[in-house]
Amino acid sequence: MRFLTAGESHGQKLVGIIEGLPSGMKISKDRIDEALRQRQQGPGRGGRMAIEQDEVHLVSGVRGGVSTGAPIALEILNRDWENWEKVMAWGKEADLESRKVMTPRPGHADLTGALKYHTEVRNILERASARETAMRVAIGSIARQGLSALGVEIKGHVLAVGGVHAEYVDEDAYWQRVKQSEWSVGDPVAEQQMGERLMVARSEGESLGGLLEVQVHHLPAGLGSHVQWDRKLDGKLAQAVLSVQAMKGISFGLGFDMGDRMGSKVHDPIYYCQGQGFKRRTNHAGGIEGGMSNGEPIILQTVMKPIPTLYQPLETVHLKTKEVVKASVERSDVCAVPAALVVLEHVVAWVIAEAVLEKFPADSFLELQTAWEAYIGNLLTMEF
């Protein structure tokens, strides 16, 4: 299974194509649209999110809400396009000289992209923008729906925003708060402090990042493989997570704390339970050993850097005149941690779905489900 996306932040639309999805899988457009709606939320979002009302158009490969096995083409329109048509001048001959962006913003692809592609900054920023993640969420939602039908669930948590860390112990209470609160961290004190931190950042022309966690539940042992570097599940998840704009690190389970502990305080003792098969007493590994899922929940954490466009811009250099000037700022989010969480859940869903299809290649969903159930049954009774 593979996918490709295209589209600029202020172009007409985002497009995507998925190939290799089995036939006979239920695809709910409403679930995709709900994920797109969630990705637009969060108290730190800027003016753009008031303009967009993201909705997916399923163009091919789905009939009557069920996949046909043919490539699935998707589109998401940019409502902002009508305000940018002249600037973008797509497919037209136009004088773009006056529309050049010549003051690259630190923290963005702007300068390096301009050097690498030998072009002004707009040609870089349009595609580097996280607007592209709307399509990755739509595509990931299809993967997530397939996983859900197999009983696999993905949950995301915001762990920290701008240095304010959330505490939560009770999963039920957490999900209750997630439904109620715009920060959705499950810790009312932290939510208030995050709101205050955001107000300060906004008033000072600053921006915020944070820490996020994604968990994958009810996966069997054996997805991914130890035999080749590019088949390792943790490696694939790392690639997908770090490909999301502004993500700068990833860890699994105990993560970087592992480096401070003795081995016996890190590795997860194995036991056997009749009817449940091989289990672990702890899950410090975060559900992956040797590049394979080990049957425990996959738990990964990532760090999002603060949004790079600052309303009090940093210094930069004008590409033509080489003068020291302030970096350009048109409009920006101040904090996009809650939105990024939705993106992360969906890029993780894609990688897991790909790993499922690598282990159980199938042309129809029934074929996949049959192989999946047989394998899980076998894991519980396997003799050596």
Ligand X SMILES: Cc1cc2nc3c(=O)[nH]c(=O)nc-3n(C[C@H](O)[C@H](O)[C@H](O)COP(=O)(O)O)c2cc1C
User: From CA 22, how far away is CA 62, in angstroms rounded?
Assistant: 11
C-alpha angle with apex 244: 112 to 247, nearest 5 degrees?
80
User: Residue 288: which H helix or E strand, with range?
Assistant: strand 288-289
Asked if residues 348 and 139 have their Cβ atoms less than 8 Å apart, the reply is no
Residue 89 assigned ligand-binding role: no
Question: Toward ligand EPS, which CB reaches closer, 85 or 330?
Answer: 330
Q: Which amino acid is residue 33, in one-letter code?
A: D
Q: Which one of ligand EPS, ligand X, none is in contact with 306 (Cβ closer than 5 to 8 A by kind)? A: none
For residue 164, list its beta bridge partners.
Answer: 161
Which one-letter DSSP state was computed for residue 259? G
User: Of the ranges 139-147, 213-221, 258-266, 330-338, which one interacts with ligand EPS (CB under 6 A)?
Assistant: 330-338
134: contact with ligand EPS by CB under 6 A? yes
Q: How far is the CB of 133 from ligand EPS (least distance, A)?
A: 6
If we measure between CA atoms, which residue out of 343, 357, 311 comes closest to residue 154? 343
Q: Which one of ligand EPS, ligand X, none is in contact with 301 (Cβ closer than 5 to 8 A by kind)? A: none
Q: How far is the CB of 246 from ligand EPS (least distance, A)?
A: 8
Residue at shortest CB range from ligand X: 309
User: Of the ranges 159-167, 201-209, 266-274, 326-334, which one interacts with ligand EPS (CB under 6 A)?
Assistant: 326-334
Angle between the 337-359 and 365-381 helix axes, to the nearest 10 degrees?
80
> Binding ligand EPS by CB under 6 A: which of 207, 283, 332, 369?
332
User: From CA 199, how far away is CA 202, in angstroms rounded?
Assistant: 5
Total residue length of the chain: 384
Q: Which one of ligand EPS, ligand X, none is in contact with 343 (Cβ closer than 5 to 8 A by kind)? A: ligand X
Residue 71 assigned ligand-binding role: no
Q: Find the binding residues for ligand X in span 129-188 (CB under 6 A).
A: 129-130, 133
177: contact with ligand EPS by CB under 6 A? no
Q: Which amino acid is residue 154, in one-letter code?
A: I
Question: Toward ligand EPS, which CB reaches closer, 315 or 330?
Answer: 330
Q: Which one of ligand EPS, ligand X, none is in contact with 193 (Cβ closer than 5 to 8 A by kind)? A: none
Structure tokens at 318: 């004008």
Q: How far is the CB of 246 from ligand X (least distance, A)?
A: 4
Q: Between 97 and 116, how does the x/- string for binding to ligand X read (CB under 6 A)?
A: ----------xxx-------
If we measure between CA atoms, which residue out of 370, 211, 371 comes closest to residue 300? 211
If we measure between CA atoms, which residue out of 159, 179, 156 comes closest to residue 168? 159
Phi and psi, residue 209, nearest 5° = -120, -155
User: Of the ranges 146-154, 189-197, 334-342, 370-378, which one interacts with ligand X (CB under 6 A)?
Assistant: 334-342
72-77, strands of its sheet edge to edge: 2-6, 13-19, 72-77, 56-60
Residues that bind ligand EPS (CB under 6 A): 9, 46, 48, 52, 129-131, 134, 245, 330-333
For the annotated binding site, the residues are 39, 45, 127-129, 245-246, 290, 305-309, 331
